[in-house]
Amino acid sequence: MEERLHKALARLGIASRRHAEDLIRQGRVTVNGRIVTAMGIKVDTEKDMILIDGRPLPLPAPLIYALLNKPKGFVTTLRDPQKRPIVTDLLKDISVRVCPVGRLDYDTEGLLLLTNDGDLSFKLQHPRFKASKTYEAEVKGRPAKQAIDYLRNGVIIEGRKTQPALAKCLRKGEKSSLLEITIREGRKRQIKKMCAAVGHPVLNLRRTAFADLKLGHLAPGQYRLLHPEEVGKLKNYITLQTQGRQDAKNG
C-alpha cells in the first residue's frame, strides 16, 4: 500500500514525522536509487528500495504502547544535559526504543504514554486533533465559583486566551483545594499558568487521563502495556476527531 514517505518512516518507527521530514529535506533518503527531497512522494515499503544515509531500513520493530505513571523527579526528554533521571529509565522490561507522547514537567506526575508508533504519536500531539488531557491540581487557597468559571471560559496567559476547558472543584480545604481540569491544548505549563492567573497557584499536579486512556491504579513509577483494544480505541479517537473537524468545516 502506498503512503507518503515521511509517514512511512514514522509508521515504521524510524523517526518521528518531523524528524523524517528533516531527513528528506537534507537529502539523506533515497527511493529506488534516487535522492528524494520532496514531501509529497508516495512509496510502498514492501516494494520500494528505501535507504537512509545509504543504509536500508531496519526491519520494523514491534509496535509498543506503554502507559506509565510518571513520578516527580523525572524528565520526559530522552537526553538531559543536567543528567536528571529520564522516564524511559523506568521501562526496565522494554528493549525497543520508545518515546514519550507529549511532555510532563519534572515536578508533575501522572499518565504518560510512550510508544514507537510515530504516526499515532504525531496525531495525538498535533493541535488539530485536540486530544484531551485531564489533570488533578492541588492549588493554594479556596477557589470561588468565579475562579472556576474563568478556568472554564478561558483566561489570558502570555497575552493569549486559553480555549474553553472543563473545570470543577473536587475538594476544598482550609489551605488548599483539589481541582479537576480538562484541556485540549498543549501550551507549555498551561495548567500551572491558568491556575496562577486566577490567583490559586498549583502546589501539586497529576495527569489522570489522556484521550481515551485513564491512569487507573498504577503506582508512581509503574507502567503497563496497552491492550490491543485500548490501542484500537486510541486510533478510533483520532478518527472521530478528524471526522468532527471535517463535519464542522463542511457545516
What's the CATH number where 28 sits?
3.10.290.10
* pLDDT interval class at 250 (50, 70, 90): low
111 and 73 belong to one structural domain: yes
pLDDT of residue 12: 77
174 and 138 belong to one structural domain: yes
Distances, alpha carbon 59 to alpha carbons 46, 51, 169, in Å? 11, 12, 50
pLDDT of residue 245: 55
pLDDT of residue 85: 95
229 and 116 belong to one structural domain: yes
Neighbours of 144 (CB within 10 A): 13
136 and 205 belong to one structural domain: yes
- Whether residue 155 is contained in a domain is answered as yes
- Whether residue 251 is contained in a domain is answered as no
**54 or 186: which carries more pLDDT confidence?**
54
**246 or 194: which carries more pLDDT confidence?**
194
Report the number of distinct structural domains present in the chain: 3
- Whether residue 11 is contained in a domain is answered as yes
C-alpha cell at 24: 528528506
Cβ neighbors of 185 (< 8 A, separation 6 or more) are 127, 162, 163
151 and 169 belong to one structural domain: yes
pLDDT of residue 247: 52
52 and 160 belong to one structural domain: no
92 and 206 belong to one structural domain: no
Longest pairwise C-alpha distance within the chain: 70
Task: Among 33, 56, 79, give the residue marking a domain's end.
Answer: 56
205 and 219 belong to one structural domain: no
**250 or 27: which carries more pLDDT confidence?**
27
What's the CATH number where 122 sits?
3.30.70.580
17 and 33 belong to one structural domain: yes
> How large is the average pLDDT for residues 95-117?
94
* pLDDT interval class at 61 (50, 70, 90): confident
pLDDT of residue 246: 54
> How large is the average pLDDT for residues 77-82?
87
Pair 122, 116: CB distance under 8 Å: no
pLDDT of residue 130: 86
* pLDDT interval class at 244 (50, 70, 90): low
* pLDDT interval class at 17 (50, 70, 90): confident
Percent of the chain topping pLDDT 90:
71
Given the DSSP bridges, would you call strands 202-210 and 109-115 parallel, antiparallel or unpaired?
Answer: parallel
- Whether residue 76 is contained in a domain is answered as yes
pLDDT of residue 155: 96
Closest C-alpha to 99, from 29, 18, 40: 18
Q: Convert the pLDDT of each residue in 177-226 to its tens digit.
A: 999 999 999 899 999 999 999 999 999 999 999 999 999 999 999 999 99
The catalytic residue positions are 105
> Domain range for residue 154?
132-210
121 and 157 belong to one structural domain: no
pLDDT of residue 15: 78
pLDDT of residue 249: 57
pTM: 0.78
**174 or 138: which carries more pLDDT confidence?**
138
What's the CATH number where 172 sits?
3.30.70.1560
Mean pLDDT of the chain: 91
Q: How far apart are CA 172 and CA 99, in angstroms?
A: 37
101 and 200 belong to one structural domain: no
108 and 223 belong to one structural domain: yes
Q: Convert the pLDDT of each residue in 184-197 to its tens digit.
A: 998 999 999 999 99
pLDDT of residue 58: 76
pLDDT of residue 95: 87
